[in-house]
Amino acid sequence: MYALLGRDDWIYLLGLLVPLAIYNVGLKASRVLGLPGPVGPLGFLDQVRSEVFFNLGYAALWVGLFALVRRGVGRWILLVLFHLAAILVATITTSAHFFYKTTGSVLDYDLITQSLRSWGDIQGVIANETTTLHWLLMSVVLFYAIAGPALLTGLLGSRLHVPVETPGRVRFAPVAVSLLAVLLGALSLLPGVTGSSKSFSRDPLANMVVTEFSEPNFEETSPEIETQLAAEDQPTDASLVQTAGTQKRNVVFIHLESTRAQSTTAYNDDLKTTPFMDKLADESLVAENAYTIVPHTSKAITAVNCGVTPNLVRSITEAEPDGIPAQCLPELLTDQGYDSVFFQSATQDFENRPQIAKNFGYEEFYPLEALPKEGFEQANYFGYEDDIMLEPSKKWLEEQKKRGKPFVAEYLTVTVHHDYQTPGRYGFKDFAEDEEYNRYLNTIYYQDHFLENLINQYKEMGLYEDTIFVLYGDHGEGFGEHGRRQHDNTIYQEGIKIPLLIHDPQRFQNGMRVLPPTNQLDIVPTVLDLLGYGVTGGTYPGSSLVSPLPMDRTVYASCFYDQTCLASIKGKEKYIYHFGNQEDEYFDLAKDPTEKQNIADEHAEEIERRRESLLAWRSKVNTIYERHRDSLMGETTMMSE
């Protein structure tokens, strides 16, 4: 060993490498022990194997480098890089650990880079999720990564030693150690053979390498899709046509933030969280099996307002100027003489919401910053309780009555969003034993009161009878039912099945139930059908819920993170594709509504067809956005010339 480095050098290097390895493997061990179901000794070893290989390889790499570069400026540079690399590794593994504990998802390279690009959007989330214990842990780790090895050599060695120079000359052994590091690093890239997720089984840094450089590319567009798109008429130049049945009535979108269908009374009689919505459902069109397309707010409101599938990549391209390949409903109605307004109880900065509202065609935008906060409670890290919108709404509606014009309005709630801080305005009930889930249900209970207050406001102002109300969930929320929490990657029913009600005081007095699968794309065609407008110059892909739909209709959904998961629901059968990261899943929702029994082995041929259909759908949607962006760039180039 002394042929490689001196005694004090070994103490210095191992004084950092060994604690770092113990820390990394220990974090992974705690995640493995927290998995649902028994793991077993062999399964445990298989799940921590990648961390062991990675840390052995990481240690061998630095030992080899220090043995190769023994003195001079190169050794000083190597010493600085040694400490910086340790800080980077500790930061990434710590972040990956707490990200998994919070969401049930695995941190990858794309997520880190996109989060850094949108730092303003996520810093509030990070500040909310990190506790004093987290900061204390990171402070200790960072302090030790910087000063620990020098202090340790002073305790165990004859003097305080910093290895800026190592006696001797380079031999073959350092090269062999470096090659060993490469071999061990390569072994860390291999996934475990037990467990459900390959990404989970890999060391966080090893997984980033694999997902960034080694995963298959799913972005190619097939000739069939090119032909299909050439034949389709996208609604980029769509406009409305009045018919004999056209009625210029008001349209109100009420956005039910993070509200999953199964946690509302209208979809679950066992829970009394939404008594008002339940009563309203008796006189409304109710989509019994409605789904979000992407479980993320900005993506969902794009589908609702614009009638097209949002871009299936994580970046919020919908917030770019002209970033949506469609004429959205507010813009279409504005051309018909409507006024429009967008209210939200959330801060305006998150994901550039003002630009998104502008892209939809809303003429006026009232975010949290424009609302009076006195007397209202903060609901979470980027919003206040939803009742804060009521008085500004009343003032706007009073002015609107004076103008005498029809209007389209959106109310985007935020109280139900994580981290579920229930305002005290309407009390607190015991809906569930789990503390976090109970807080979530109480925020839904609060939201139901806001809904009642808003509907009553329209009644009191004489606007109710002439208004069509669209109540929709943007996505659901996971609480570990399938190992996932919150919503972005929760592709199971708790994450993507949403409430969807169309309340029209002039129709549906006896209620109407739509049983086939539906999604947010059906909202624009339904509203236009109720208003009596025709569409020219383009086609929206959804269907009016007022018309009969086939029971075996197929709808699609995608996780928010790129190449993570896709799902198709056809009738009562649901297929989930995980891009090879874990086994395909197939569920019979009629017999297994909570998705506990994966019956993929019984549907091999059907799964092959469903997988091809899902990937074709994803490719088609992303190609539409690419073409739209290219066409806008072409127009810009022509104008500049």
Beta bridge partners of 558: 566
The two beta strands, 478-479 and 383-384, are: unpaired
Dihedral sign (CA 545, 548, 552, 554): negative
Are the CB atoms for 538 and 234 separated by under 8 Å? yes
List the structure tokens of 593: 């509504």
The whole-angstrom separation of Cα 205 and Cα 95 is 11
Are the CB atoms for 419 and 130 separated by under 8 Å? no
The whole-angstrom separation of Cα 601 and Cα 586 is 9
Residues 404-435 pLDDT 10s: 899 999 999 999 998 898 898 999 999 999 99
pLDDT band, residue 128 (cuts 50/70/90): low
More confident site: 315 or 408: 408
312 alpha-carbon distance from chain centroid? 11
Q: Indicate whether 127 pLDDT > 60.
A: no
Lowest mean pLDDT among 89-103, 293-307, 324-338: 89-103
Q: How distant, in Å, are the alpha carbons of 168, 340, 528, 542, 609 from that of 308?
A: 68, 20, 14, 8, 24
More confident site: 236 or 530: 530
What does the pLDDT read at residue 228? 67
Q: Indicate whether 1 pLDDT > 70.
A: no
Lowest mean pLDDT among 332-336, 401-405, 465-469, 555-559: 401-405
The whole-angstrom separation of Cα 638 and Cα 641 is 5
Phi, psi of 383 (to 5 degrees): -165, 170
Alpha helices (H) along 386-522: 390-403, 435-460, 493-496
The whole-angstrom separation of Cα 30 and Cα 26 is 6
What does the pLDDT read at residue 638? 45
Residues 434-459 pLDDT 10s: 999 999 999 999 999 999 999 999 99
Amino acid occupying residue 272:
K
Residues 56-65 pLDDT 10s: 999 999 888 8
Beta bridge partners of 285: 502, 512
The whole-angstrom separation of Cα 518 and Cα 470 is 14
pLDDT band, residue 118 (cuts 50/70/90): low
The whole-angstrom separation of Cα 409 and Cα 339 is 8
Q: Indicate whether 112 pLDDT > 80.
A: no
Q: How distant, in Å, are the alpha carbons of 32, 33, 46, 127 from that of 38?
A: 10, 9, 14, 34
pLDDT band, residue 91 (cuts 50/70/90): confident
Query: What proportions of the chain, in percent to the nearest 5, are helix, strand and coil?
Result: 50, 15, 35
CA nearest to 279, candidates 90, 29, 449: 449
Residues in contact with 29: Cβ distance below 8 Å, sequence separation at least 6, in sequence order = 44, 48
The whole-angstrom separation of Cα 413 and Cα 430 is 23
What does the pLDDT read at residue 639? 45
Q: Indicate whether 21 pLDDT > 80.
A: yes
Q: How distant, in Å, are the alpha carbons of 224, 260, 290, 407 from that of 473?
A: 34, 7, 9, 22
User: How many CA within 13 A on the CB side of residue 138?
Assistant: 15
Amino acid occupying residue 275:
P
Outline where DSSP puts E strands in 559-638: 566-570, 573-577, 585-588
More confident site: 19 or 640: 19
CA nearest to 516, candidates 478, 552, 475: 552
Residues 183-238 pLDDT 10s: 998 888 888 887 678 888 888 888 888 876 665 555 555 666 666 666 677 898 89
Q: Give the N- to C-terminal CA distance of the chain in Å, as an integer.
A: 69
Domains delineated in the chain: 7-214 (no CATH), 240-550 (3.40.720.10)
Residues 258-306 pLDDT 10s: 999 999 999 999 999 999 999 999 999 999 999 999 999 999 999 999 9
- Within 10 angstroms of residue 213's Cβ, the number of other Cβ atoms is 9
More confident site: 359 or 130: 359
CA nearest to 590, candidates 498, 514, 517: 517
The whole-angstrom separation of Cα 542 and Cα 222 is 23
Q: Say what percent of the chain tops pLDDT 90.
A: 50
Q: How distant, in Å, are the alpha carbons of 50, 131, 208, 213, 418 from that of 128?
A: 31, 8, 25, 32, 10
The whole-angstrom separation of Cα 39 and Cα 621 is 39
The whole-angstrom separation of Cα 518 and Cα 87 is 48
Q: Indicate whether 10 pLDDT > 60.
A: yes
Q: Let me know if 591 is exposed, middle or buried by CB neighbors in 10 A (0-12, 13-18, 19+).
A: exposed
What does the pLDDT read at residue 566? 95
Q: How distant, in Å, are the alpha carbons of 9, 16, 59, 208 from that of 56?
A: 18, 13, 5, 18
What does the pLDDT read at residue 581? 84
Alpha helices (H) along 307-464: 329-334, 353-360, 390-403, 435-460
Beta bridge partners of 533: 242
DSSP 351: G
Mean pLDDT of the chain, nearest integer:
87
Are the CB atoms for 12 and 63 separated by under 8 Å? no
Dihedral sign (CA 557, 560, 566, 567): negative
- Within 10 angstroms of residue 601's Cβ, the number of other Cβ atoms is 10
Amino acid occupying residue 330:
P
Specify the 3-state DSSP secondary structure of 537.
Answer: coil
Phi, psi of 6 (to 5 degrees): -80, 170
Are the CB atoms for 284 and 511 separated by under 8 Å? yes
